[in-house]
Structure 1
Amino acid sequence: MKILVISASPRADGNSHALARSAIDGARDAGHDVEHVFLDDYVQQMLGNCRMCRRPQDGRCSLDDRYAELLLDKILPADGIVFAMPLYFYGMPGRLKTVFDRLFCYTANSAPEQDVVVDGITGKNVGVLISCEESYVGATQGVAAQFQELTRYLNQNLVGVVVGNANSRGEIVHDPSDPLARARDLGARLFAIRVTDYRIDTARSNRVWDGAVHS
Structure 2
Amino acid sequence: MKVLVISSSPRRAGNSAAMAQQAANGAEAAGHEVELLHLSDFVDGVLGDCRRCRDSHGRCSILDEYETLLVDHVVPADAVVIATPLHYYGMTSRLKAFFDRLFCYTSNSAPDGERVMAGLTGKRIGLLVSCEENYQGATLGLVTQFQELTRYNRQELAGVVVGVSNSRGEVKWDPANPLQRAYDLGERLFTTHVTDYRLDTPRSNRVWADHGVPAKPPVAGDEVVSVTSIQ
Aligned equivalents of 2:193, 2:50: Cα separation in 1: 37
Q: Which residue of 2 aligns with 1:65?
A: 64
**Identity of aligned pairs, percent?**
60
2:205 aligns to what SS in structure 1?
coil
How far off is 1:179 after superposition?
Answer: 0.4
Query: Per chain length, whose mean CA-contact separation is higher, i.e. which structure has more relative contact order (CA < 8 Å, sep 6+)?
Result: 1
1:197 aligns to what SS in structure 2?
coil
* Dislocated runs of 4+, deviation >3 Å: none
User: Are 2:108 and 2:114, in contact at CA under 8 Å, matched by a contact in 1?
Assistant: no
Q: Which residue of 2 aligns with 1:159?
A: 158
User: What is the one-letter code of the residue matched to 1:64?
Assistant: L
User: Are 2:30 and 2:187, in contact at CA under 8 Å, matched by a contact in 1?
Assistant: yes
Kindly indicate whether residue 18 of structure 2 is the aligned counterpart of residue 18 of structure 1: yes
Q: Which residue of 2 aligns with 1:89?
A: 88
Q: Which residue of 2 aligns with 1:208?
A: 207
User: Are 1:5 and 1:36, in contact at CA under 8 Å, matched by a contact in 2?
Assistant: yes
Q: Which residue of 2 aligns with 1:99?
A: 98
TM-score, normalised to structure 1, is 0.96
User: What is the root-mean-square deviation in Å for CA atoms of aligned residues?
Assistant: 1.0
Aligned equivalents of 1:18, 1:6: Cα separation in 2: 12
User: Are 1:22 and 1:180, in contact at CA under 8 Å, matched by a contact in 2?
Assistant: yes
How far off is 1:109 after superposition?
Answer: 3.1
User: Are 1:8 and 1:85, in contact at CA under 8 Å, matched by a contact in 2?
Assistant: yes
Alignment of 1:115-194 (within 5 A): 115-194=114-193
List per-residue Cα deviations over 1:45-95 (Å, max 9, x = no partner): 100001111112x11111110000000001000000000110000000010
2:6 aligns to what SS in structure 1?
strand
List per-residue Cα deviations over 1:19-60 (Å, max 9, x = no partner): 01111111111111110110110001100001111112x111
Aligned equivalents of 1:10, 1:67: Cα separation in 2: 16
Alignment of 1:24-39 (within 5 A): 24-39=24-39
Aligned equivalents of 1:79, 1:12: Cα separation in 2: 24
Is the deviation greater in 104-113 or in 182-191? 104-113
| Gaps in structure 1 of 5+ consecutive residues | none
| Gaps in structure 2 of 5+ consecutive residues | 212-231
TM-score, normalised to structure 2, is 0.89
How far off is 1:12 after superposition?
Answer: 2.5
Aligned residues: 211
